[in-house]
Structure 1
Amino acid sequence: MTTMPCLGNGETVCLCSWLNYPLGKYSVRGLRVALTLSSPEVSASTVAVLDGVFRALGFESCRRRGASVQGFPRELAGFREQLDAHRGPVGCALVAAVAPRGQLRQPRQLVRELSCCGALRGCPKVFLLLSSTPGAAPEPGAFLTGLQELCGRSPHWPLLQLLTEVFCRTAEETSGTTYCPVLRSSLRGALCLGDVGPWGPEPAPGPSAQYDLSGARAALLLAVIQGRPGARHDVEALGGLCEALGFETTLRTDPTAQASILSPLQAFLEELAQFRERLDTHRGPVSCALVALMAHGGPQGQLLAVDGQEVWPEALVQELSGCRALRGCPKVFLLQACRGGHRDAGAGPTLLPWFQRWLQVPPATSSHADVLQIYADAQGGICSGPTPGSCDQADILTVYATAEGCVAYRDEKGSDFIQTLVEVLRAEPQGDLLELLTEANRQVCELDVLGPDSDERRKACLEMRSSLRRRLYLQA
């Protein structure tokens, strides 16, 4: 491995790992290590199944640590220190945290701890966040058993595709209950963990592995134009894409007709309610719905109107998730708005552009990138309420323009998120949507943006939240 410890900031450039990074796919050469954090209430059979999953995916080091949930961050900090002290390259880290339902309330703290690991910079970090149900049978449920079986049979599959298949199996085996896993991804490429190679072409999925989009498709675009330079370009680009993909598109911008009664965002919710009613009364089958909302964002991730009114994005999802016509059909939400005030300077070596090109070193990327979180139930029990895992959250894909807590960037030409997304989907409309969004994220992460209040370069990163149970192809 060739290294050059001459960056002036104490960092060492690992040319081996960067030069072997295939376009659109992670190179996971080097140490692949897994860690299981389990609270005392977790059964030994659950931990044993996790060990089987790790080994099927080619993790040569599988560590276990028993601790209270409050001790998980401390254990993970020690894990991070061990990785940073490792002398060779690190390819990937997988952390499984298993605790009673409701106790894993701050997964961001775990993600943030491992994202600070210098040895994992630019490498995928996977978190399997499992809740155990008090009083449930100690045997693992449909999700874990399905994950173990599929990892053993098809370890070469890209992980997002593998998880989508597991989600489908889990939902089928728990028919009549209210269970569906959820994933959150900021990955920048396909992640294949099995010890197989070279990667060959993926087999075409069968009809049952993908959503049937033979029925009507409907799109609703809601945009705040006032006070948002470039927003009109986003509306035009996204509207043209939806029409090209066969969506019957409804556009609403800056609603003012009911301004004396409703705020703009409340009017948008009313528009969404009417959109749902139109779908429920549609005479033929409806196969897919897409909702895009482009507005200002607040410090806690809420959507803001120019009059100061606010609404939470989850309210939009809840409104459409109860649509009878869309039961079992994909529902896609695109949210172009800030989710906080943090401006990410990125992570990576600081080099002059010409020196960076000479070394073939990739640019700094968002510190929020390369993370995959999976939320599931260890026993496959019954969930209630609008939480990750409930049935009214199934078949939903939400794409955020930025990571949680961060600013979403936009200029007079439009937003990085919408403009890049439209370009990627127009270039390959037949592709799997999760894969296309991952490619869009890779391109967004490579951009350097200038904030309106700073001359310093900043980085952005998309985030996907998916409970899709099949592959989604918007164009056959």
Structure 2
Amino acid sequence: MAFLVSGTLQVAAQIADAQDSLGRKGKYNLQGPRMALTLSSPEVLASTVAVLEDVFQILGFESCQRREASVQEFLGELTGFRKQLDAHGGPMGCALVALVALSGQLRQPQQLVRELSRCGALRGCPKVFLLLSSTPGGAPKPRAFLTELGELCRRCSHWSLLQLLTEVFCRMAEESSGATYCPVLRSSLRGALCLGDVKPWRPKPEPSFSAQYDLSGTRAALLLSVMLDRPGAQHDVKALRDLCQALGFETTLRTDPTAQAFQEEVAQFRKQLDTHRGPVSCALVALMAHGGPQGQLLGADGQEVQPEALVQELNCCGALRGRPKIFLIQACRGGHRDAGMGLIALPWFWRWLQAPPAIPSYADILQIHVDAQGSSSSGFTPGNSDILTVYAATEGCVAYRDEKKGSDFIQTLVEVLRTDPRGDLLELLTEVNRQMCELDVLGPDCDERRKACLEIHSSLRRRLCLQA
């Protein structure tokens, strides 16, 4: 009997470990199979798909499927792929889906992303989406992107995918009409994702000086917070203000701005930076307010302002050209309250194994939008480089705040940055998301536990470390 119980516990532990693919050191273990799927419209050149398949092989995907279909048929094809993974009979290691179509055709990629998020076999596993577009009959830009990515994967296999993409973005950036354009990534990953064939005996190359932003100049921060009818907001304001000052930011605070004042304050902030004597090396803008059903910010007057408009306002700052611009957005982006995805196991496993909590439904997703100058395929402000935007909630979801301690996002962010201010900011934000995803949140208008998840949008082209 003891042997039977011991064996049962061992099997149960293996199931629990497989269900939670995130290692204890904040890195996905990728022990299961890696599956890749390419969905391409008929107009896409076969050579582009061939380059894709080469990259998949470099990244260690043993199963690479291809479907040619119209963009309208992509959802049905992806549903079939999801069912295939669920019928596999065991947990996956990682899934990669490449969506290749003519520029402007992929207008609602989030519907495709969320379809794969429903896959039980991929619960807790990274899901990577490559959104590539091309021009009819022409050589598509994605081929150059894929070539750069494949080369870097061979040389720097120990780098995380976010590190690799940042380097690729630097190489792919283009100057156009006085602005710099590059691809954009959109992440809700909870840990480091290393897809390469890591050789522990291979020496780790040191990053060059150009691989990191120079923050020796002035740093400026603008904090805009609606306090009215937002209990606990004062804790966020104090924590964030103290952090900015500790990191050497010249900080400006404005409370209870109206929707118009949001725009005016960011515009005034931009003008001050443009007239500043001496170099400006970095800007941080925190936007804290109630959110509308489509992700709008609500001013103290209840009127709406689009956060993307505020991002673009600061992007026009000449003093910040080629410099990192950080936006922290603590606001709801809709009314959905995510119950998360629980373990697929018997109830007694929970009691015996102390299984990890449910995972937010839209965690562990990485989207890479290569056609940065293209249409609205990315679903958010595309194209401009050196921008990092962090949302306290994924698209359509509630951002939580506690009246006694403030919001989980701001408080966790401050704690992580104070612990390791010299770390790479993208990696630190991934750690913030990991900690947030482990929380069970009880909202003021809900008696059931809910989950929260960050969404990070980045077009950074270098490592960003806020303290030398």
Note whether the superposition's TM-score is higher than 0.5. Answer: yes
Contact 1:17 1:27 in 2 (8 A): no
Mapped pair 1:409 → 2:372: no
Among 301, 304, 311, the alignment partner of 1:310 is 304
8 Å contact kept, 2:35–2:61:
yes
- Which of the numbers 272, 291, 309 marks the counterpart of 1:297? 291
| Corresponding position of 2:336 | 342
Aligned partner of 1:225 in structure 2 is 227
Give deviations 1:311-361, integer Å, cap 9, x for gaps.
011011010000000000000000000000000001112899996363142
Residue 41 (structure 2) pairs with residue 39 (structure 1): yes
Cα 1:3–1:341 shift into 2, 3 Å: farther
1:419 corresponds to 2:397:
no
Which residues in structure 2 correspond to 1:37-436 (within 5 Å)?
37-137=39-139, 140-171=142-173, 179-196=181-198, 203-255=205-257, 264-349=258-343, 356=350, 358-377=352-371, 383=374, 393-412=384-403, 413-436=405-428
Give the direction of change, closer, same or farther, for the CA distance of 1:394–1:316 in structure 2 (3 Å limit). Answer: same
Partner of 2:3: none
Give the stretch that moved more between structures: 351-360 or 75-84: 351-360
Answer with 347-356 or 35-44: which moved more: 347-356
The yes-or-no answer on 1:455 pairing with 2:423 is no
Structure 1 residues 33 and 352 mapped into 2: Cα distance closer, same or farther (>3 Å)?
closer
Residues 65 and 329 of structure 1, relative CA distance in 2, 3 Å threshold? same
CA distances 1:446-469 after superposition (whole Å, capped 9, x unpaired): 001111111100000000000001
Q: What amino acid does structure 1 have at the position aligned with 2:402?
A: D
Give the residue type in structure 2 aligned to 1:51: E
Letter paired with 2:409 = F
CA distance in 1, matches of 2:381, 2:290: 29
Distance 1:140 1:445, change over 3 A: closer
State whether residues 178 and 391 of structure 1, in contact with CA within 8 Å, keep that contact through their aligned partners in structure 2: no
Amino acid aligned to 2:303? Q
Contact map agreement 2:184 2:382 (CA 8 A) in 1: no
- The Cα offsets for residues 398-450 of structure 1, whole Å up to 9 and x where unpaired, read as 00000000000001110000000000000000000000000000000000111
Task: Describe the superposition over 1:107-165 as per-residue Cα deviations: whole angstroms up to 9, x where unpaired.
Answer: 11111111000100000000001111235335754322211221222232100000000
Aligned partner of 2:429 in structure 1 is: 437
Larger displacement relative to structure 2 (167-176 or 265-274): 167-176
Q: 1:303 to 1:16 in 2, by over 3 A?
A: closer
CA distance in 2, matches of 1:284, 1:14: 55
On the 8 A contact 2:211/2:463 being kept in 1, the answer is yes
Inter-partner Cα distance in structure 2 for 1:387 and 1:178: 17
- Asked whether the equivalents of residues 425 and 466 of structure 2 are also in contact (C-alpha less than 8 Å), the reply is yes
Where does structure 1 lack aligned partners over 5 or more consecutive residues? Answer: 256-263
More divergent stretch after superposition (161-170 vs 350-359) = 350-359
Letter in 1 for 2:82: R
Contact 1:350 1:364 (C-alpha < 8 Å) held by counterparts: no
- What SS does structure 2 have at the residue aligned with 1:278? helix
Q: Find the partner of 2:458 among 439, 452, 466.
A: 466
Q: Are the aligned partners of 1:31 and 1:88 in contact in 2 as well (CA < 8 Å)?
A: no
Describe the SS at the equivalent of 1:458: coil
Counterpart of 1:259? none
CA distance in 2, matches of 1:444, 1:156: 26
Question: Which letter does structure 2 place at the counterpart of 1:393?
Answer: N
SS of 1:408 mapped into structure 2: coil
Structure 2 unaligned regions, length at least 5: 1-6
Q: CA contact under 8 A between 1:156 and 1:192: conserved in structure 2? A: yes
Which residue number corresponds to residue 23 of structure 2?
Answer: 21
One-letter amino acid of the structure 2 residue matched with residue 145 of structure 1: T
Q: Structure 1's 199 and 240: CA in aligned 2 closer, same or farther, altered over 3 A?
A: farther
| Alignment check: 8 A CA contact 1:127 1:373 kept | yes
Alpha-carbon distance in 2 for matches of 1:53, 1:417: 35
Aligned partners of 1:191 and 1:286: how far apart in 2? 33
Contact 1:186–1:372 (8 Å) recurs in 2:
yes
For 1:243 and 1:68, the matched residues in 2 are separated by: 52
How many angstroms apart in 2 are the aligned matches of 1:391 and 1:296?
24
Contact 2:90/2:121 (8 A) holds in 1: no
The answer as to whether partners of 1:56 and 1:155 remain within 8 angstroms in 2 is: no
SS at match of 1:307: coil
Compared with structure 1, are the counterparts of its residues 165 and 461 closer, same or farther at alpha carbon in structure 2 (3 Å cutoff)?
same
| Partner Cα distance (1:459, 1:76) in 2 | 26
Contact 1:18–1:361 (CA under 8 A) maintained in structure 2? no
How does the TM-score come out when normalised to structure 1?
0.90
Task: Give RMSD over aligned pairs.
Answer: 2.8
Shift of residue 73, structure 1, vs aligned partner: 0.7
Q: Amino acid of the residue matched to residue 40 of structure 2?
A: S
Asked whether the equivalents of residues 386 and 392 of structure 1 are also in contact (C-alpha less than 8 Å), the reply is no
C-alpha distance 71-397 of structure 1, shift in aligned 2 (>3 A): same
| Bigger shift: residues 144-153 or 329-338 | 144-153
Q: TM-score, normalised by structure 2?
A: 0.92
2-structure distance, mates of 1:392, 1:105: 15
Residues 448 and 201 (structure 1), Cα distance of their counterparts in 2 relative to 1, 3 Å cut: farther
- Residue correspondences, number: 460
Amino acid at match of 2:263: L
- Quote the sequence identity (%): 74
* Amino acid paired to 1:328: G
Quote the offset at 1:3 in angstroms. 7.9
Q: Deviations over 1:79-130 (max 9, x none)?
A: 1111111134310000000001111011111111110001000000000011
* 1:174, distance to aligned residue in structure 2 (A): 8.6
C-alpha distance in 1 between matches for 2:345 and 2:239: 35
- Which AA in structure 1 matches 2:336? H
User: Distance in 2 between the 1:453 and 1:199 partners?
Assistant: 54
Question: Does the 8 Å contact 1:333/1:398 carry over to 2?
Answer: yes
